[in-house]
Amino acid sequence: MLPLKLATVCSRQILNQFMGNGKKLLSTSTGTLKVHEEVQEALHAGKPVIALESAIITHGMPRPVNLQTARDVEAVVREEGVTPATVAVLHGKLHIGLTDAELEYLAGERTDLVKVSRRDLAYVVSQKLSGGTTVSATMVAAHKACIPIFVTGGIGGVHRGGEKTLDVSADLTELGRTPVTVISAGVKSILDIAKTLEFLETQGVCVSTFGQSKDFPAFFTPRSGHQSPYQVTSAAEAAKLIWAGEKLNLQSGNLIAVPIPEEFFSSGEIIESVIQVAVKEAEDKRIQGKEVTPYILQRVNELTGGESLKANVALVKNNATVGCHIAMELSKLKKQDSNGPMKLPATSCDSSSRQPHRTGSSGKQRGRSQTKDGKGSGRPVIVGGVVVDYLSKIGVDNFRLDGATYPGEVHQSLGGVGRNLADCLARLGNNPLFISVVSDDAHAEVFFSQCNHMDMSGVRILIGEKTPTYSGILRSSGQLVVGVGDMNLHQEVTPELISQFEEEISASPIVCVDGNVTPEAISYLCDMCSHHKVPVCFEPTDIHKAGKPFLTSAGDRLTYTSPNLSELRLMYSCVTGKSSQVSDSRSLHAKMTEAAMLCEELTWRVPVVMVTLGKDGVLLCHRLQDDEYPPTAGNIPKISDKMNAMHVPACSIKEEEIVSVSGAGDCLVSATISAILKGHDLQRSVRAGMLAAMLSLRSYDPVPKAISSCQLTEDLIQNGTS
């Protein structure tokens, strides 16, 4: 399998970028962002990563101390078991994670390196320049890769006289709008610390001092004469603060101020007195803007004989150590806490807000009691693919695949079996968790913007890949002639990704997986569900993928599946090792006879098989002793020696009403599951699925928006086939 290239692990934040404040993810497809492989692998594995700035290399320290410090800080981070991600702009690309050669390049004797703040990013990238990133630019980069913690020496602030000059560092506004936690030694005493803290409060930034005191440090000294609003006494406490902010989705940063190591306390007082001399020199020479701080630090180093530089290096290393400890605790906390970032609010028809019920043969509702172990108390989980569909409907009945151009219609929509299932279940009020991957290409923005009614916290974004696409040629009747799919990204729905959601899966009443997922991932998911007694529904996707569960033991751990007749034949062959006898007759009787014969064998492995027959409806085959209680978590089915088969006809629809068949099967399965979760028996649940399929047939969108207003009430379920 190709190495994973995961760039982010908090898709909820990316969704907010697209839908909330208008920001967009920089994309390697346009050559603007490059994530180092070491950082990619750490993020994918859920290991802690911290961001580091590079302006300290290019503009903050003299040579050769700058390079040695950069190397030493990265070494400190690695020794703590954390991955460093030093950020810089190199030849017009924003790099997250650098090689040693790139560190050398930044630390060399060059005069063309730019000190890159947020305001400079677009220009520097557009002109293919290079430079070191300041706090604000590094925060931007860290957030784009969803690295939650950034370590630096000290941040900028409000300059003295800032109420007149409006000289306020971009670091402060960045903290107010970017959800990254900054670990620093406070702010330098050359700034107006009181106004800086006031400005941070206005920006909504949570400021805390790390340690046993609320004294706010001033870089070289542990006490500035001002106090932080809060303090965090340990790495674990700091991690809880960060995680709470993520779950609340505040979209603002935290500042954790770490006092300089104790051995430098005494020299700090000397350095502070020298700083005042350097500040006066800078004023006399009328040095302004972003040139002030580098000038003062250089002069202070000269006047103290290098003592300030030693203290500077020591506090940066100390901050890195503290940041690593916090990152480690945050990583543990995220793995332990299954609740995750706050989800989209439930819709008014959310089934979790209603009392579960089932309908008996008399049509009256009867309550179903919750199992003692709480199984099924969560929500459905969908594991599968996202695909961008391009459907071309040929406008003439007589055509040949001869290279000619025919009149017709071309439509683009979002698809993918897993995405369709999650979309439909969300519109029906089931609030599913969708686990999948997309790329950072242009399709990602469309995906997030059109799926904002779904919980996307299980979707991961990969850097430099291609979001899967599908191109289908349809007859004028809507029937598929041929399709071509570019689906390689689905290989990245891995067991490692699935494992991150075990708590959600273990509490789910039912889990659905589509055939786009690899056999290894399907097997891992089915083993997990079997352990937690959660039923699995397998959606075969197409004839080439229908046999995947039967390549492993997963085939023995499925409860539901929904193949068409061609997919059923393949499943039968996988289970029995025999080839099925395909009937020449296209009559409904012949098709049902063949399907029933094949299901006689398959239902010993998969108790409920819904064979989709297109315009002829569904043949429902199962070995449940009591089909009024379809299997959900905590409701273990009793298998019968006798297979039951029932034909559920399709809803009446005129041929000219059919626009596309691409999403009908997915809507059928989703609405069937939704009805099962609401307590209906198998027959009525499949009829509900038929209603949803009918709505899909009338729409170019695989999951039409009309489904959101169709709640599939009991009357519709009972009368929907008329």
Torsion of CA 236, 461, 416, 488, to 10 degrees: -120
Neighbours of 405 (CB within 10 A): 5
Longest pairwise C-alpha distance within the chain: 97
Contacts of residues 398-407 at CB distance under 8 Å and 24 or more positions apart, as own/partner, are 401/481, 401/482
d(CA 353, CA 257): 43
Q: Are the beta carbons of 256 and 183 closer than 8 angstroms?
A: yes
What is the sign, positive or negative, of the torsion defined by CA atoms of 94, 100, 102, 107? positive
CA distances from 131 to 32, 139, 170 (A): 14, 15, 17
Give, in order, the Cα–Cα distances in Å from 428 to each of 156, 350, 373: 50, 8, 27
The 10 Å Cβ neighbour count of residue 394 is 17
Residue 547 has what DSSP assignment?
T
188: CB partners within 8 A, 6+ apart = 154, 157, 218, 219, 220, 275, 293, 296
Phi and psi at residue 137, to the nearest 5°? -70, -35
Answer for the pair 244, 285: CB distance below 8 angstroms, yes or no. Answer: no
For the annotated catalytic residues, the residue numbers are: 53, 188
The Cα 196–Cα 224 span in angstroms is: 12
Count CB neighbours of 410 within 10 A.
9
Whether the Cβ atoms of residue 540 and residue 382 lie closer than 8 Å to each other: no
Q: Which residues, in sequence order, are bridge partners of residue 89?
A: 94, 131
E strands, 194-332, are 206-210, 230-232, 254-257
The answer to whether the beta carbons of residues 395 and 474 sit under 8 Å apart is no
